[in-house]
Amino acid sequence: METKSVSIRVDHVTKRFKDPAGGRSVTAVNDVSFTIEPSELVTLLGPSGCGKTTTLRMIAGFELPTQGKIHIGDDDVTFLPAHARDKATVFQSYGLFPHMNVFENVAYGLRIRKLPKAEISEKVTATLRLVGLESLANRSPGRLSGGQQQRVALARSLIVEPSVLLLDEPLSNLDALLREQMRVEIRRIQKAVGITAVYVTHDRTEAMSLSDRVIVMRDGVIHQIGTAADVYENPVSKFVAGFVGKVAFFPVDVLGAEGVGYACSLRGRRFTVPRGVPGIPAGGRAVIMARPESLRLGEPGSGLLEGRVSANIYLGSSVESFVDTEFGDILVQIDDPTSRKVWPEGSQVSLQFEPRLVRVLPEDVS
């Protein structure tokens, strides 16, 4: 399978929809810019209504931008019809032809291009091998599992060798276990083909495990673009911190900058947090974000904040302890619970931050 790797450039793109009822317009996407490098898999991640699907649909050509430009490779495709764009789209619904077997579903795109029979056969066999379905070529789609049907849909998209693969919540119809397997598969296949891919999801685990980079959106704007580690460890806002992972926020007074971190005070207790979003003024308010794995429990009085263990949830490789504090229920993850202390429910405890995943964020940008 030959794919020419191209970039995708989205430049100051805005999309406004007219509300058919009232005539008021909705800004679904608001001055969004990003570049996806050749062979990169980038995910648009955000809550329902944030504009991720509209952004993907504009790259696909199913919607036209109100403003801005879209390039695929060197070509300005902003107003090019969808069918003329060198892309394939995989949707949540598989859209397979029920009366054709797997082989014929995958061959379809080549048959309408009138390729020689032998070449079609060779390409279909290679593509079915790529998606792990070579033994099911003669099955009808109705006799395949959801995951297998999605693989057929993927094979059918890839066989025409598009430059760009667009995936719109492709795993939403699968159960949790299958979703986990398929996201590993999609990444493997995308890397094997080397195709530039854009993936839309509201599922953070999916986004974090699949992507070279994640674009976090809300209300039509981009909050942050980065690798999974970037957005998890160094979120720019409370929204990103909360959307990409479990987190607790502690309100603090900022005493002053210290390197790339801050001296802070929490209820009059002073301490230094080594990392933070730059530019928070001394004397201002801020929050400390703490991931569950960055909190530790100790004897009452030994840490920064007192609380009581309200529940322990056993997850095998870890225990999640919920600690009732003056800032609400705080989740603490205790890894390797066979060798580390799990405080029984009802215990009085003291919470301490591990500097590693703790970070100061502005209070006002939510």
In the complex, the residues that contact ligand ATP under the rule CB under 6 A are 17, 26, 28, 46, 48-54, 202
| Contacts (Cβ under 8 Å, ≥6 apart) of 69 | 9, 11, 12, 13, 76, 78
Nearer residue to ligand ATP within complex by CB, 49 or 146: 49
Token pair 């490779």 is found at 73
Nearer residue to ligand ATP within complex by CB, 58 or 195: 58
Nearer residue to ligand ATP within complex by CB, 10 or 264: 10
Query: CA end-to-end span of the chain, whole Å?
Result: 45
Shortest spacing between CB 79 and ligand ATP, in angstroms: 18
Nearer residue to ligand ATP within complex by CB, 217 or 273: 217
- Is residue 155 within 8 A of residue 94, CB to CB? The reply is no
Alpha helices in 221-302 (DSSP H): 228-233, 238-244
Cα(249)–Cα(307) distance, rounded to whole angstroms? 15
Shortest spacing between CB 106 and ligand ATP, in angstroms: 28
Nearer residue to ligand ATP within complex by CB, 46 or 235: 46
Token pair 């403003």 is found at 67
For the beta carbon of residue 318, count every other beta carbon within 10 angstroms. Answer: 17
Nearer residue to ligand ATP within complex by CB, 56 or 124: 56
Shortest spacing between CB 320 and ligand ATP, in angstroms: 27
Shortest spacing between CB 271 and ligand ATP, in angstroms: 39
Shortest spacing between CB 96 and ligand ATP, in angstroms: 22
Listing DSSP states for 119-158 in one string gives: HHHHHHHHHHHHTT-GGGTT--GGGS-HHHHHHHHHHHHH
Shortest spacing between CB 207 and ligand ATP, in angstroms: 12
